Amino acid sequence: MDLLSEEGVASSIGKGADDCEYDYRLALRDALENAGKFLYCSNLPQKWKHQPVGSCPGSVMYEAQGLLMSCHLLRDREFISFILPAMKKFLSIRGKAADIDNIYAHLTEVRPNMLLEKSDEVSSLAHIMLRYALEKEIINDDLKVSELPDAWAQGMKYYFDSVPSDDKEGFMQDDYWVSGIFGYVPCRVVASIAASQIFSAIKNSKVDVCSGVGNGDFSGVVGWLNKHVYSRWKIQQYHFAKEDYWEESRCGFIQELPHRQVSQHVGCPEFIDGIRLISNYGESG
């Protein structure tokens, strides 16, 4: 079944339901993110397939392809117009609720959530900053594992003015740390930047590659990605120079961005206050 067909979209909507709530946004986001990652991995250059140079260049670009679809294509009005018939049919959306502008506002809503997987792209940054800070403290032996629940609760209180009801909603909400995966989640910050730049390049392309999306034709988008992203083997996409600077990609859309500067901005007070301000605005608006 084609994931981006009407049947595929309807199937993904159904997979997003659980016993507590029914939010089609989470299901669509998950489906589109996995579709983006699958397209990327399956379209890397075949002639370099079994060589290190032909593999995925790292977690940042891998995550960026998922975020490109789930945070940008999903919220594009052309895509919303394509998915709208399935939403009307399977979710019984009627009246003003079925208006494209209303659905766009719903998909771009900023509302803090205690769970990272359910957070919007703004408040998720606060989740990442908290995890990054706690990971450093654990690795440096400044924080004991037994102290982690309280440290997590304090961090959530600081960012969201709320505390988790239990460990399942707190530091045990996913399997990263349980699986021994430390230091991975922060790469999604840089991946978000890369995804935004890629989608900006797509929208500003001389040829309107998104023109067919509203009719379910994704050949323009996938074709552009094949030419400018998927076909670029590992060294061509990006690399770190000795000075830890992001070099400009041969694709022309990843601008020079100091790696240290990103780390500094993510942890600076102004950045943190900005996230909290936007989150509070989204909650009240």
Give per-residue pLDDT as tens, 77-121: 999 999 999 988 888 888 888 899 999 999 999 888 999 989 988
pLDDT digits (tens, 9 = 90+) for 135-184: 999 999 999 999 999 999 999 999 999 999 999 999 999 888 888 888 88
pLDDT of residue 251: 38
**Range of lowest pLDDT (2-16, 102-116, 153-167, 228-242):** 2-16
- At residue 274, does pLDDT exceed 70? no
pLDDT of residue 1: 43
Read off the pTM.
Answer: 0.74
pLDDT digits (tens, 9 = 90+) for 24-59: 888 899 999 999 999 998 888 887 777 777 777 778
The full set of domain ranges for the chain reads 6-281
The architecture CATH gives domain 6-281: Orthogonal Bundle (1.10)
Cα–Cα dist 246/239, whole Å:
7
pLDDT of residue 56: 74
- At residue 256, does pLDDT exceed 50? no
CB 16 within 8 Å of CB 26: yes
